[in-house]
Structure 1
Amino acid sequence: MAETTTVAPTALPKGFRGAEQGWPRLDRIPHPPRRIPLLGDIVGADRRTPVQDSLRYARQLGPIFRRKAFGKEFVFVWGADLVADMADESRFAKHVGLGIANLRPVAGDGLFTAYNHEPNWQLAHDVLAPGFSREAMAGYHPMMLAVARRLTDHWDRELAAGQPVDVPGDMTKLTLETIARTGFGHDFGSFERDRPHPFVTSMVGTLSYAQRLNSVPGPLAPLLLRTATRRNEADIAYLNRTVDDMVRTRRTTGGGDGDLLDRMLETTHPETGERLSAENVRRQVITFLVAGHETTSGSLSFALHYLARHPEIAARARAEIDQVWGDTEVPGYEQIAKLRYVRRVLDESLRLWPTAPAYAREATRDTEVAGLHPVRRGAWALILTPMLHRDPEVWGADAEEFDPDRFDAKAVRSRAPHTYKPFGTGARACIGRQFALHESMLVLGLLLRRYDLRPDPAYRLRVTERLTLMPEGLRLHLDRRVPSGPVTAPVAVPDEVTPDARCPVHRADD
C-alpha cells in the first residue's frame, strides 16, 4: 500500500494559499497580457469555462504559467517534466483547494475532499479499499450488467420511436444507478423518469456552485451569490436527507451482502479497530455517489462521441467484441478485460477530455520544481491534465487528433512516466479507478455490439464545465445492429499494458 504524506495544517484559511506566498520567483512564470490591477487576468475570460480558458492560455504561455483573479494568484503546470517532478510523493502531496475545497460543506472529510492531515482519510481508505479488489469487482459485475440492460431497453424504445438518444443524460442515469445499486443497494429509478432524479439536480447544483465561488471575490460572494447560496444550502440538505434515508434503511433491514455501505457501517480498521462515524459515513456515501458517477458518465459520453465520428474505429472495436464475446449475450467478468482495443478507445477519450480535468499538488517541504522553480513548503500548483495530455513533446504534433493506437503496448512503453493522469496521482489517486474502467468497457462493449452510432452532422463538440467536464447537447442516432456471429479471423491485439503502469498510482487492490 502506498504511504501517505502528512502535511500539517497551515495558519492560512483552509483551501487557499496564495502563489505569491509560496513561489518566490514568480517573475520567471509568465502570465496573460493586459492584467488589470485588483481584478487580475479577467480580460477575455469566461467564468463558465475556466478549464478551456486555461487551455487557451497554456498554448500561449507555455508549460508553467499563472493567472490572477481578485487578488489571488494561481500557478498552472502542464509540461511533462514539471508534472513528473511534482508526482514525487517524498516532496509533494495532494492539495485540496479551489473548487474541491468549496465542496467541503457537503463532502467534508470524505475521501475526495479530506485534507492530508485529517485522520478519517486514512481510516476510510483502509476500510473501503477491499471494496475495490478484484474479488469485489467480480461481484459487482452482474449488477453492472443489469443496469446496462436497463439502458439498452431504454435506447431500444428511443430507436423504435425514431428518436435520437440524449447521450450525457442517459450516461448520467446509467452511472448513477450503477454506483447506487452496486455500492449501496439503492435504486433511484432513473430510467423510469422523464427528468433527472432530484439527487442529480442537487448534485449538479452543488458542483456548479462550487465552481462559481471561484469566479467572484471572496468578500463579495455572500452578496453576489445570495440566491445561489440559498439554493446550494437546499441542495446540500436534500443530498444529506437522501443519504440519511439510505443509511437508515440499511440499518433497519440489512441485506447489503458486503457492499460499500456494509463496509462503512460494519467494518473496523484492521489494525486500530476504529469505525467510521455516522457523520463520516454520510460524507463517504455522498462522495461515492457524486464522484462515482459524474466523471464516468462524462468519459462514456466523450467516448461515444468519438466512436460515432470515427466509424472505422467503431468497426475495429466491434470486431474485437465479436471475437472475444463470441455468441454469448451476457459477457462474463473476465471477458471485459480482454477488450484491449475498446480500452484504448476509452484511454484516448480520457486523454483528450479527462473528465476530472485538474488536480493540485502541494510542496511538503521547501524544494524546486524540475530544478528551475523554487517553491516553499505549503505552496501549490494546479496540474492542467487536458494540456498535459496534449503536450506535443510527448504526444506528437497531432496531439489534438483522436487515435486509440497511441495506447498500443509499444507506444505506452515508449512514453515517459507521469504523462497520462486521468485519475490523479500518488496515494490520493482515485480509489474507484478499476470500478470506473470495468463499468465503462462493459457499457461500450454492449452498446457497440448492439447499435451503429450515427452523429448529427451539424453537431460540433461543446464542453460544459461544472468542476467536471461533459459534452453538451450530444445526441446520437441509432441503427440496430445484427451481429454477424463469431469472428474467425483474429483481431490483432498486442499484450496488455496499463497506460500508466509505471506511475506510482495507488490502486485499491495493491
Structure 2
Amino acid sequence: MAETSTETTGAGGDELPRGFRSAERGWPELHRIPHPPHRIPLLGDVLGVDRRTPVQDSLRFARMLGPVFRRKAFGNEFVFVWGARLAADLADESRFAKHVGLGIANLRPVAGDGLFTAYNHEPNWQLAHDVLAPAFSRDAMAGYHPMMLAVAGRLTDHWDRQLAAGRAVDVPGDMTKLTLETIARTGFGHDFGSFERDRLHPFVTAMVGTLTYAQRLNTVPAPLAPLLLRRASRRNDADIAHLNRTVDDLVRARRHFGGGEGDLLDRMLETAHPETGERLSPENVRRQVITFLVAGHETTSGALSFALHYLSQHPETAARARAEVDRVWGDTPEPDYDQVAKLRYVRRVLDESLRLWPTAPAFAREARQDTVLAGEHPMRRGAWTLVLTPMLHRDPEVWGADAERFDPDRFDAKAVRGRAPHTFKPFGTGARACIGRQFALHEATLVLGLLLRRYELRADPGYRLRVTERLTLMPEGLRLHLDRRTAPTPAAAADSGAPVTVPDAPASAPRCPVHGAGD
C-alpha cells in the first residue's frame, strides 16, 4: 500500500489530520474543475448548505456541475467524482489506494487502526485482514445462518406484538436492533437484549453520537472546533468511553468464560497470522470489535430500511418478490443457508435499494504516484478525491435517463453483464472494500425473505422519504403498517419449478425519492 503523507498543511494554513490532504496541493489544474457559484472568501461554498445533509447537498451540486467538481470549506478544497469513467479509473489498485479522510479520520479516536479507519501504512490493517478473512468464508457464513434466523425470529415476534396492538412498526429502529443483535451474537457471542428494551440500547445511542459528531467536525473550521463544539465534544468523549467500556466488558467475559468456537472475537484473541505468527494487540482487539459492531450493523440496517420503504411504495414489486419466496422456500419453517441465495429477485430489490441510497455514501481514493485521472486531470502523489456513490449510481450514461426510478430489473443477469465494471460500488472498492459484504448481503436477503413471507407491508400515505445523515444514510421517520399473511397453499409451495408471473410495473416518470423533488 502507498504511504500517506504524515504532515500536511491545508490551503488556509491549518494543520490537517495525519493522511489528510487539501485537494489544492495535489491537483495542479484545479481551476479547470467547476465549483458552486457564490463562493465566499475564507468561508468557501457555504451558501445554501445544510450542515445536517452534506451528502444530499453534494448530490445537488453534482447535478449542477457535472461528473467532477470541487467544494471549498474554511480554506480546504475537496474534489468530488461521480462519473462512471472517472470512478472506474480510480478503481485501478496499481495507481490508487484508499484514502482516510473527512469523517473517517474523525472516527479514529474511537476506532483507531481498525479495519475501516486504518491508514494504509499501518501494519495492523493487513494483520487483522489476514486473521479475520476466514471468518467470512462460505463455511463460516453457513455457521452463522442459524443465529441469523434466531435473531430474525425475535424481530417477527416483536412485529407480531405491534400488529396485534394495531401499531405501525418503527422500521429504522427495529432494523437497527436486528442488525446489532445479529453481529453481536454471530461475531462476539453477546446478546444486547435489544428487543426487550423500549428504547435503543445505550451502545447504539453512543454509536450514533460518535458518528454524528464525526460528521459535525467537518462543518466547522478546525481551529474553532474546540470552542464551537465544546459541549458536543464532551458528549462525544462520554460516548467513546461507553463504547470502550462495553467492548472491554465483552472481551473480559470471553477471556474468563471462553466460548466462541471460531467466531470473530475468538479469532481476534486466539489466532496468529498464518505466516508471521503475529497476534492482534489488546488495544487493537478493542478497536476491531468496535469497528465490527458499528460498521457491521449500521449500514445493513439502513439497507434493509430503504428496501422495506421501496417495497411498501411498490406493491407490484413486493408481490413479485413474495411470490418468489413462496415458490423457493415453500412451507419450510426455516430456510437453510443455500435457499437464501436462490432468492434472486429479492436480492435485486436489495441491490436496487443500495443503488439509490448506498448507506455508506462515499469512499475516498488517493494517488499512489503522480498520475493523470482518466487522461484528463493531473494528480500528484497523495492527492485524493471523494467518489460520491449515490451519484455514481445515478449516472445517466450507465443507468439511463430514468436513473431516479426504482427498478430491481436493473440487476437481472443480462443487465448486469451489459454494464461496465465499477459502476455499482455500495461496499467501496479494491483491497480495502468492506470485508463483511457477503455477511451483510446474506443477512439482509434472509430478513427480507422472512418479512415478505409473513407480512403485507402498507405505507403511510402521507410519508415522503427523508434521509438522515450521520456519515451513513438512513430513512428518517419511516413507519409501516402490517397485515399478517396466510401461509402459501401446499400445492403452490410444492410447485417449486413454476415461473412467477407478475405484471410488469408501468414505467413512471423520473421522480426524486427525497421530498418528491430534485435533491
TM-score by length of 2: 0.93
Return the letter of the residue paired with 2:154: R
Please, which of 490, 493, 500 is the counterpart of residue 498 of structure 2? 490
In 1, Cα distance between equivalents of 2:203 and 2:292:
13
Give deviations 1:302-333, integer Å, cap 9, x for gaps: 00000000010000001110111111010000
Please, which of 144, 156, 166 is the counterpart of residue 152 of structure 1? 156
Name the counterpart of 1:324. Answer: 328
Aligned partners of 2:323 and 2:500 also within 8 Å: no
Name the counterpart of 2:51. Answer: 47
Range 458-467 or range 478-487, more displaced: 478-487
Please, which of 4, 10, 28 is the counterpart of residue 6 of structure 2? 10
Cα offset for 1:9? 3.7
User: How do residues 288-307 of structure 1 correspond to structure 2 at under 5 angstroms?
Assistant: 288-307=292-311
Aligned partners of 2:6 and 2:19 also within 8 Å: no
Please, which of 58, 75, 84 is the counterpart of residue 79 of structure 2? 75
Give deviations 1:238-293, integer Å, cap 9, x for gaps: 00000000000000000111110000000000000000000000000000000000
In 1, Cα distance between equivalents of 2:446 and 2:457:
17
Aligned partners of 2:4 and 2:19 also within 8 Å: no
Please, which of 454, 466, 483 is the counterpart of residue 479 of structure 1? 483
Aligned partners of 2:320 and 2:500 also within 8 Å: no
Give deviations 1:165-198, integer Å, cap 9, x for gaps: 0000000000000000000000000000001100
Give deviations 1:137-172, integer Å, cap 9, x for gaps: 000000000000000000000000000000000000
Give deviations 1:72-126, integer Å, cap 9, x for gaps: 1000000000000010000000000000000000000000000000000000000
Cα offset for 1:201? 0.3
In 2, Cα distance between equivalents of 1:63 and 1:472:
28
Cα offset for 1:27? 1.2
In 1, Cα distance between equivalents of 2:447 and 2:280:
33
Give deviations 1:434-471, integer Å, cap 9, x for gaps: 00000000000000000000000000000000000000
Aligned partners of 1:91 and 1:365 also within 8 Å: yes
SS in 1 for 2:182: helix
Name the counterpart of 2:175. Answer: 171
In 2, Cα distance between equivalents of 1:9 and 1:281:
26
Name the counterpart of 1:426. Answer: 430
Please, which of 11, 16, 32 is the counterpart of residue 28 of structure 1? 32
Aligned partners of 1:9 and 1:117 also within 8 Å: no
Name the counterpart of 2:203. Answer: 199
In 1, Cα distance between equivalents of 2:2 and 2:69:
28
User: How do residues 60-459 of structure 1 correspond to structure 2 at under 5 angstroms?
Assistant: 60-459=64-463
Return the letter of the residue paired with 1:11: E
Return the letter of the residue paired with 2:2: T
Distance 1:384 1:105, change over 3 A: same
SS in 2 for 1:221: helix
In 2, Cα distance between equivalents of 1:314 and 1:27:
48
In 1, Cα distance between equivalents of 2:178 and 2:120:
32
1:461 lines up with 2:465 in the alignment: yes
Return the letter of the residue paired with 1:328: T
Cα offset for 1:15? 4.2
In 2, Cα distance between equivalents of 1:9 and 1:150:
48
**How many aligned positions are there?**
489
In 2, Cα distance between equivalents of 1:72 and 1:475:
40
In 1, Cα distance between equivalents of 2:197 and 2:220:
35
In 2, Cα distance between equivalents of 1:225 and 1:484:
56
Return the letter of the residue paired with 1:491: P
Distance 1:8 1:399, change over 3 A: closer
In 2, Cα distance between equivalents of 1:462 and 1:119:
40
Aligned partners of 2:89 and 2:373 also within 8 Å: yes
In 2, Cα distance between equivalents of 1:94 and 1:482:
49
- Root-mean-square deviation over aligned CA pairs: 0.9
Aligned partners of 2:460 and 2:481 also within 8 Å: yes
In 1, Cα distance between equivalents of 2:24 and 2:187:
43
Unaligned runs of 5+ in 1: 494-510
Cα offset for 1:6? 3.2
Cα offset for 1:404? 0.1
Aligned partners of 1:10 and 1:378 also within 8 Å: no
SS in 1 for 2:483: strand
TM-score by length of 1: 0.95
In 2, Cα distance between equivalents of 1:405 and 1:268:
44
Cα offset for 1:8? 4.5
In 1, Cα distance between equivalents of 2:409 and 2:4:
44
Aligned partners of 1:82 and 1:370 also within 8 Å: yes
Name the counterpart of 2:517. Answer: none
Runs (4 or more) in structure 1 with deviation over 6 Å come to none
Aligned partners of 2:35 and 2:65 also within 8 Å: yes
Identity of aligned residues (%): 83
SS in 1 for 2:304: helix
In 1, Cα distance between equivalents of 2:136 and 2:352:
24
Cα offset for 1:492? 5.7
